[in-house]
Amino acid sequence: MDLEAVKKYLEKKGETSSLVDGLPARFLEPLIMNALRVDLIEPGRVVCSMKIPPRLLNAGNSLHGGATAALVDVVGSAAIPSVGYSVSSTGVSVEINVSYLDAAYAHEEIEIEARALRVGKAIAVISVEFRKKKTGKIFAQGRHTKFLPTASKL
């Protein structure tokens, strides 16, 4: 049992540390979204593409599970204005879940499809599916539940 190694891993500060400390506010979204392209938007459905950038890899050189979860949040949220809500009020996250089915590697072209299962007066639920573009194979599936507080005031 090597508790010291766990501590070192969690607190590791490499050469990137000074770079990280200098980053602007709200940097997580540019980090994960900079490579996103929108292929299709229609009411209740958003499809994006991305060529997996090396900056989003994990130690196993595949798309980081945390990046996948963050993309469920961001792309899932975009499905709400697609059914008529203002882009500035996509609600508050209540729950996100993701199943990881397979690894996706650097430079692979992937497709992220968000589909609104329900956008009600107060609750929206969006399914988000990650596929490899070459084979169509699903490699992750998530769901995003949001509370729409401003909508409930209308």
Residues 77-96 that bind a second copy (CB under 8 A): 78, 81-84, 86-87, 92-96
Residue 103: CB minimum distance to a second copy, A: 8
Kindly tell me which residue out of 46, 104, 110, 151 binds a second copy, with binding defined by CB under 8 A.
Answer: 46
Residue the block writes with tokens 């599916």: 129
Per CB under 8 A, which of residues 92..151 are in contact with a second copy? 92-103, 106, 117-118, 122-123, 125, 127, 138, 141, 143, 145, 147, 149
- Distance between CA 20 and CA 24 in Å, rounded? 9
Number of other CB atoms surrounding residue 50 within 10 Å = 24
Tokens of residue 113, six digits: 């499809």
Taking CB under 8 A as the rule, does residue 49 contact a second copy? Answer: no
Q: Which is nearer to a second copy, 88 or 134 (CB)?
A: 88
Residue the block writes with tokens 């490699």: 139
Residue 135: CB minimum distance to a second copy, A: 13
Q: At residue 107, what are phi and psi to the nearest 5 degrees?
A: 75, -5
Residue the block writes with tokens 């994990």: 58
